[in-house]
Structure 1
Amino acid sequence: MKYYDKNTLIYLDGAFVKASEAALNPFAQSLHYGYAVFDGLRAYNTHNGPRIFKADKHFDRLKKSCEAVNIPYRWSNRELIDKCYELLAINNLREAYIRPLVLTGSNMHLTSSTEANLMIAAWEWGPYLGQNLLRVCISDIKRPNPKSFKTDSKISGQYVNSILATTEAINRGFDEALMLDHEGFVAQASSENIFIEKDFKIYTPPAKNIFPGITRQTVKNICKKLNFEVVEKQLTVEDIYTADSAFLCGTAAEIIGIKQVDDVIYQEEWEHSIGASIQRRYKNLVLENENYEVII
């Protein structure tokens, strides 16, 4: 996929510049050590015009991620949100994925950075995992131990772990990987949270060993609105195999159902599942086809 052309503009350190002409610091810690922080947002083409879903929560998380790993954060989130809308306008985008990235400066020592640069890019991008039901496998690659890494922050270097898991899954003929935590319980997919349905209840792993996504919280809010019970508990692989249905969620992937995990095919029709009801409600929410403030 091509993410930009010769006319695409990005926001870089206070100015809009051509993506093709953006300079990269060859001595940046981000390049050598993966010492950077990012986030991902989606803009939707609503009847109110292009609207970025929960922009404030995403930029709050970007700031918190920087603070978690001692990267300076000197920007106003309100101003950055305004710049995102401006970026959409100058690139003629009404629906887009938006990627803010905080990069660190020149430093070959393994010490916290005192410099930081900010880039924001946007491009047209459909649901990350497509729209068909997924074939998922339990990965041999485990999530990092939260006592050794800030697993609740979006730190660039951490996503090598996700790349390895996803690549392994694809090489085995699946669409996505489901990863266990350091205790052997089901944690999440490579970059999405997981929910399962069992006996008309929804279950999801607790926040302690996963990345607690914004979409995950939105799903919980929707369930509350629709009177579906959500139980947070540590899930075993057997819990996943014996579920009635399951789905993944995330900003990039949105909400997408799972057809099978390893050799186990879910018997419940996706269209009749609680997950499908949540998926439909989520779509109405991001498109502002219902009372936005009621759920968020």
Structure 2
Amino acid sequence: MYYNENTIVYYNGSFIKASEARGNVYDQTLHYGYGVFEGIRSYATESGVQIFKAKEHFERMKYSCEVMNIPYPYNNDELVAISYEVLKRNNLENAYLRPLVSCTPNMSLTKAKGSHLLIAAWEWGAYLGETLLRLKTSPFRRITPASFMVAAKVCGHYVNSILATQEAKDNGFDEALLLDMEGFVAEGPGANIFLEQDNILYTPQLGSILPGITRATVLEICNDLGIEAIEKQISPEEFKGADSAFFCGTAAEVIGIESLDSIPFKKNWKDSLGFLIQKAYKDRVLVKKFKQEVVSV
């Protein structure tokens, strides 16, 4: 699914076949989940292949390494150029890129002694599909900032996401919704979340959530379209009483939510602010000018 015998990746300074890339069984990331990564999308636009917000993603990867004490001897401008070369060598346009900084061998619980860099890419459709999602409130809570650097995109954090997603799917739902340690709405296992109430969008405030790059883009779009967007603590009860809701993330893009715990949202998706945001987001990543629309209140 992700690679074949011809797939080329960038690994530790060279373009090589994915099948020939070799790790070390003593790497610290393998044993402890101590590494960082990014997920980035590229799109075929009228002016050629464009990686959406590549600079912002690599800046976040650098930040993640810095706060996790992982060496980052890389130049982000060079990493952007390398990413385009990975796409070119694999004949990819609409693709998903995975930069990963992993740690060299170290069996002690101390900061990394060195790092490896991988940049891979593959064709990947809508991560959460194209249909509205049925969510289940997860019994697993979002990792707490009292214990983790939640603003960093760290490999080990996603064990929490795997547990939440699998529990929801095992119970017949499409995806999970995680609450924070105080019981407020946090995010999905791999996406930020917005809800609509009375023609206003609300999203969980920063603190326990990953400050998503797509989340920031949605807020930019709201500003462009004159949609009021408020960051605040949101209770599960408030969420269930909303008019509509959607997930957003690089992999998920913007995808509507049908229900939470089998309680449907009130608005038809095509009448929601989320549907308008979804269209505007697609125009933005395809480098098209989206139509300025007046939002009635």
TM-score category by the smaller chain?
over 0.9
In structure 2, the residue matched to 1:119 is: 118
Structure 2 residue 107 is the aligned partner of structure 1 residue 108 = yes
In structure 2, the residue matched to 1:288 is: 287
Following superposition, the deviation at residue 127 of structure 1 comes to 1.1
In structure 2, the residue matched to 1:10 is: 9
Describe the SS at the equivalent of 2:280: helix
Query: 1: CA distance between counterparts of 2:173 and 2:152?
Result: 27
Following superposition, the deviation at residue 290 of structure 1 comes to 1.5
Query: 2: CA distance between counterparts of 1:118 and 1:290?
Result: 35
In structure 2, the residue matched to 1:61 is: 60
In structure 2, the residue matched to 1:27 is: 26
Aligned 8 A contact 2:242 2:266 in 1: no
Alignment gaps of 5+ in structure 2: 291-297
Query: 2: CA distance between counterparts of 1:68 and 1:126?
Result: 32
Following superposition, the deviation at residue 209 of structure 1 comes to 1.1
Query: 1: CA distance between counterparts of 2:173 and 2:67?
Result: 34
Following superposition, the deviation at residue 34 of structure 1 comes to 0.5
Structure 2 residue 95 is the aligned partner of structure 1 residue 96 = yes
Describe the SS at the equivalent of 1:4: coil
In structure 2, the residue matched to 1:214 is: 213
Q: Could you list the runs of 4 or more consecutive aligned residues of structure 1 that deviate by over 2 angstroms after TM superposition?
A: none
Aligned 8 A contact 2:43 2:51 in 1: yes
Following superposition, the deviation at residue 145 of structure 1 comes to 1.1
In structure 1, the residue matched to 2:135 is: 136
In structure 2, the residue matched to 1:294 is: none
Match of 2:43, as an amino acid? Y
Query: 2: CA distance between counterparts of 1:259 and 1:182?
Result: 25
Query: Alpha-carbon deviations, 1:91-112, whole Å to 9, x = none?
Result: 0001100000001011100000
Query: 1: CA distance between counterparts of 2:131 and 2:240?
Result: 20
Query: Alpha-carbon deviations, 1:11-30, whole Å to 9, x = none?
Result: 00111011011101100000
Query: 2: CA distance between counterparts of 1:171 and 1:188?
Result: 19
Match of 1:107, as an amino acid? N
Number of positions where the alignment pairs a residue of Structure 1 with one of Structure 2: 290
Describe the SS at the equivalent of 2:207: helix
Describe the SS at the equivalent of 1:208: coil
Following superposition, the deviation at residue 174 of structure 1 comes to 0.6
Matches within 5 A, 1:136-155: 136-155=135-154
Describe the SS at the equivalent of 1:83: helix
In structure 2, the residue matched to 1:266 is: 265
In structure 2, the residue matched to 1:252 is: 251
Structure 2 residue 65 is the aligned partner of structure 1 residue 85 = no
Aligned 8 A contact 2:9 2:16 in 1: yes
Match of 1:69, as an amino acid? M
Following superposition, the deviation at residue 35 of structure 1 comes to 0.6
Match of 2:176, as an amino acid? A
Match of 2:83, as an amino acid? C
In structure 2, the residue matched to 1:180 is: 179
TM-score normalised by length of structure 2 = 0.97
Following superposition, the deviation at residue 267 of structure 1 comes to 2.5
Query: 2: CA distance between counterparts of 1:263 and 1:79?
Result: 47
Query: 2: CA distance between counterparts of 1:42 and 1:220?
Result: 19
Query: Alpha-carbon deviations, 1:151-176, whole Å to 9, x = none?
Result: 11110011000000000000011111
Describe the SS at the equivalent of 2:257: strand
Q: What percent identity do the matched residue pairs reach?
A: 52
